[in-house]
Homo-oligomer: A and B are copies of this chain.
Amino acid sequence: MELKDIFPVWEQLTPIQQTKLTESAVRRSVKKGTVLHRGSADCIGLLLVQQGQLRAYMMSEEGRQITLYRLFEFDICLFSASCMMNSLQVDVFIEAEKDTRLWVIPAEVYKKVMEASAPLSNYTNEIMAARFSDVMWLMEQVMWKSFDRRLADFLLEERALEGTDTLKLTHEAIGNHLGNPREVVTRMLRYFQNEGMVQLSRGTVEITDMAKLAELAGHGKR
């Protein structure tokens, strides 16, 4: 997989612009758990996922977290290059959720090409709009949706991502995804267990009644 496979507007760039991006791009392989970007503390550049899975999250001063969205194969992360836009002031953290291979394009190189190329600039706009839409959706969830529905939704999403009913997740990890304290997660999972929807054991949540969980998450209503 090459850069041209990731950027749909590649053919609309000039040869010089293509060369600039290609020559500046650095391949990296990171282990699961690696934190690639820490809010406003760095500006490492655009991340282009070749293989693996990244997680974008927000963190409070006290260390509480909430997952904003995931990045998969072919996805591009702009927020690790937020210094390329004056108005982009977001404290997003990025970590590898699985072993991940990616390219890094330095922010200043990307910025220069984007400033001269309407196609790349418009494409960047679309990426940002997509992430913005993700965050607005999450905001709606957090504001208006009860925690039991959000937790049910999250477990079903994890099941789909991992392809198994047996999820290796601590209650603290779930809390870090959903932005809730561990105790709140534990209490709700125990309720789910009493209702026969999950089976809990150390570090594992096993989904035992997917239909009931999906009903709680309100999937039928969509």
Residues of A at the B interface (CB closer than 8 Å) are 58, 60-62, 64, 66, 85-92, 114-118, 121-122, 124-133, 135-136, 138-140, 142-144, 179
Contacts and interface: CB of A to CB of B under 8 A. Distances in A.
Contacts of A144: 60-62, 64
Contacts of A130: 87-88
Nearest to A136: B90
Given A66-B143, A118-B118, A58 B128 contact: no
Contacts of A87: 126-127, 129-130, 133
Nearest to A115: B122
A76 to B, nearest CB: 12
B143 A179 contact: yes
A132 to B, nearest CB: 5
A135 B138 CA distance: 11
A136 B138 CA distance: 11
